[in-house]
Structure 1
Amino acid sequence: MDDMGDMLESLRDLRVRRAQIDAQEVALLARISAVVGDDRGLAEELTPVLRVSTREVERRIDDAKSLTGRMPQLLAAMRAGDVETYGARRVLAVVDPLDDWAAQQVDELLAERLVEASETAWQPGNLAQRARRLVEKIDPDGQTARARRARAERRVELTPGEHAMSSFEAQLPAEVAAACYTRVDGMARSLRRGGDRRTLDQLRADVTADLLLGRDPGVALPEAAATVSVHVPADAALGISDDGCELDGYGPIPAPIAREIMTNSRSIWRAVLCDPGTGEPVDLGRTRRRPSATIRDLVRIRDRECVMPWCHRPARHCDHDHEHAWAAPGGGGSTSVANGGPRCRRHHRLKDQPGWSARYDPVHGITQVTTPHGATYTARREPVLTPTRTAPTRDAQARDAQARRVRRCDSPTRQAQSRTAPTRDDPKHRNEDNPPF
């Protein structure tokens, strides 16, 4: 028992230290924000420093400003080790719609109520409940406005998960969400009573998907009707390797799952031919006439995500950006695979902001970003497939290129060979003479 008591006390000490470190981060973020002024640019610069998503950095900055400016008593509780970031964030979500005066009133009253409260009162859910009651007391007339604001912010979110699954979440007015669930649950239970062997959880999920996709709920098991990029080595042509496939916008999925999607009669799939030495896409199966569409498809499949190192927005939801501007003075860049890269709208705009330098080499897949305060980050694109042989080094490529030039000069068929030599725009051509930057 003594050992257990010591371990519990150690856990309590860890929790206190974690809360105090959270408070230190809050204070430092608030100071940095006050100095820099541009929270949006600051969030981008701090993303690789804090090693979280840009959205999470933005949220931490907002929380820091609210805690230091509107909820100083709650911040003091963090410094005392009573509440960590998660608990504080639950309270901030409750008081967020209030003006500064009302938020400070809730902060002071909450601190008074917690002076002699039990330890369980500090649990995040209980803190949020106490704060909610205080908000209703301080600003009873604002409940309707808060509800209208929350309803105006209704949305749907798709979050990639693990094991070839994703989460589809809809933020809806309470009564609409309740009505939706009641209908889905009722249809699922009806199918269950009719002899369907799926669990109720499976049936609810399948019925929801059927309704959204315009199918008759419960008639058949859900099928993935999607556009699937099937990545295969060029020497295997259209064969599917059990080493793994990728689903556009999700990532690696097991080959059997990819084949199930591909064989669905409602799915559209295309062969992506890859260089077995580098694993990079070099061509697409041609099923569309417009070259611009083909270029966009190949760029999206090659890069898969926004080219910023810390952004994972799927390329299909990004802008097609000319790395060398199309309308640049003195001759713009070409609209080609070798001059294109996907950038989400946010990072497309950030590229040209003062102080930022964000360069991407589409051929070699290297991104180099320099922030306004001088930090530089470099990242390299991962190949679509694992290369089947070691890619040659740049020195080896240069030696091979020189040897090819010598052979062409000595060969009586030099002219015939030169007519079939790859051009600089050919994706298979390796530009040995020019460095990435």
Structure 2
Amino acid sequence: MDDMGDGVEAKVERLRDLRVRRARLDAEELALLADIAADVGDDRGVAEELTPVLRVSTREVERRIDDGRSVAGRMPRLLAAMRVGEVETYGARRVLAVVDPLEDDAARTVDALLAERLADAPATAWQPGNLAQRTRRLVEKVDPGGQTARARRARAERKLELTPGEHAMSSLEAQLPAEVAAACYSRVDGMARSLRHRGDQRTLDQLRADVTADLLLGRDPGVTPSEAAATVYLHMPADAALSISDDGCELDGYGPVPAAIAREIMTNPRSIWRAVLCDPGTGEPLDLGRTRRRPSATIRELVRVRDRECIMPWCHRPARHCDHDHEQAWTADGGGGSTSVANGGPRCRRHHQLKDDPRWNTHYDPVHGTTRVTTPHGTTYTAHRHPVLTPKSGRHRPTPTRPTPARDTQARHAPRRDAPTRDTQTHRQPAGAEPTRDATGKGHRNDDGPPF
């Protein structure tokens, strides 16, 4: 078993090396493309010439040229991060998409601030989704006056696209305002789960696809969802709702939205939204509890509102699409954990099942919002939940308060010689050893969530 563990751990390190090398090559390619485009000056002509060289479509070559020009001229610190292997092209593209509307000077300011924030950041901060969230926050800070105009322009460009696929299949993609897309998905998901509860043998993915098609074609999907199935939570401070300030507005499952857009969502009679009441001192929703195992709708709702996402450090699945999990197992004799907001947390179905895997050691503290995960080969990640709204200054803050929906995460592993030094510690278990389980009933199978 030890040899097997050592072999897997060595392969994981090889994957880490490959990622670093790939990021460096991506940086070199983008820099070369920027240089070639500057020398030639004819983007269309050079893209055509490079199409057979790079063996991708001309449109992709044009996109890479644009990325190269932007990262070299507007985001040099991001390019430097690519050159040391921290981020590949995909992650860089997510950042560039966020800063694209900014003027050059503003983009460079965001670039410098992002580099500062990431200097001592944990490994998971470099994941594309987390990078984009951090960048969004910085764009709002650097250019707060432009966020409403950017949102309005993007919403005006909403569209529907049909992309032919393989094996007699195609994809239908709608670009919609965030609250509309969230409500649409929640409604379809609720109808699919209702059909599944009634004994339909199709998978949830199949049911969502079929329900969507039925609705668009005017056919009866065979089920009507509850109103809550299409509810979108809008976290909004009272002063922002009254137009006194323009800070702190969050859309559940998406992140920050301009206050002007939030007020439009709030006052739109066609919107399906739910206001969230939070303690102004902590930024957290109010707590409830009870003694029965099955959580009430109120408890489920408060847990979903409080946590907003699956509690795993790298998972951003909205809490409304996750299972409700008892962190400390509930038992009929009353010796286990209570059915309460203080003992509940959202886990997507994949990570709910992973909790019961003895090779993984996962623990979530719902009160303080701290997640600790140890992988089968000894790497430990931690994450900290942020309050729904930023606590008022001078109040007691039991959890970190940086205003971002993304959780701060930290991976502990040995620093690499070819990567920037980080404040990390080696935290590995012996190869092949079973991670230590804490006294929270990790083997308990929680059936609170809906079945597949």
User: Normalised by the size of structure 1, how large is the TM-score?
Assistant: 0.46
Asked which structure has the greater RCO (Cα within 8 Å, sep 6+), the reply is: 2
Q: Larger C-alpha radius of gyration, 1 or 2? A: 1
Decide which structure has greater helix share: 1
User: Normalised by the size of structure 2, how large is the TM-score?
Assistant: 0.45
